Amino acid sequence: MDKLFDNLMSFVQEGEIEASITEAKRAVEEDGIDAVEYLQSVLAPVMNNLGDQFSRMEIFLPDLMVAAEAADGIRDELMQYIEVASDAQKGKVVIGTISGDNHDIGKKMVATLLGVNGYEILDLGTDVDPMAFVNAVKRDKVDVVAMSSLLSTSMPFVSETIQYLVAMGLRDQVKVVVGGGPVNPEWAEEIGADGYGHDAKQAVDLLDRLLA
């Protein structure tokens, strides 16, 4: 496994997305590694390692974006070898920056790191209407609503989204998590969110905990 880890890591670090996917396929076909095993024991540790490097600012967002793309590609490719739906995907997350707010860098980092860590991401972008989150819960059957707010004047819309979910009887179907500059854990609790994350790494830990 160490060798497979090193192989994949070096391709991802070089930004070789196609080669990363080919390497995963090779490992399954030639080395006879079980596809699920590969996802869990090679891909996941590589991505965790990159996530840690990112939280120490040893690598940057572009490197993480490449890693996320490689991880997606590998997951898609290996699906053909996996018979029953496995737990390769940890859950479906709708994420976005709330109404009136264009700050998207932190949200992108959170989305990318969640993607790297095996979550399926539906990114609605910025300036997202509360109803768009509600609709995602209704139509896309997401497990988590993740809202980013960087402005004290966009925070009220986050609270509104939760109020809408409650009013429409949807609140129990999803976990709601929040984050962003002026947001803090006390406020998250006050508005009835399930959790708060201070940074992208915490966001992953939070979701892992909430969906466990």
Q: Which does 192 bind (CB under 5 to 8 A by kind): ligand B12, another protein, none?
A: none
- 2-31: contacts with another protein (CB under 8 A): none
Residues 6+ apart with CB under 8 A from 87: none
Q: Let me know if 76 is exposed, middle or buried by CB neighbors in 10 A (0-12, 13-18, 19+).
A: exposed
Q: Which has the closest alpha carbon to 51: 210, 208, 212, 156?
A: 208
Per CB under 6 A, 192 contacts ligand B12: no
Tokens of 186: 């006390």
Residues 130 to 169 in contact with ligand B12, rule: CB under 6 A: 146-148, 150-152
Q: Is residue 68 involved in binding another protein (CB under 8 A)?
A: no
Using CB under 6 A as the binding rule, whether residue 104 contacts ligand B12 is answered as yes
Q: Whole-angstrom Cα distance, residue 75 to residue 21?
A: 9
Least separation, in Å, of the C-beta of 179 and ligand B12? 2
The site partner of 61 among another protein, ligand B12, none (C-beta below 5 to 8 Å per kind) is: another protein
Residue position matching structure tokens 């002026």: 182
Quick one: which of 40, 156, 163, 208 contacts another protein (CB under 8 A)? Answer: 156
Min CB(95)–ligand B12 separation in Å: 7
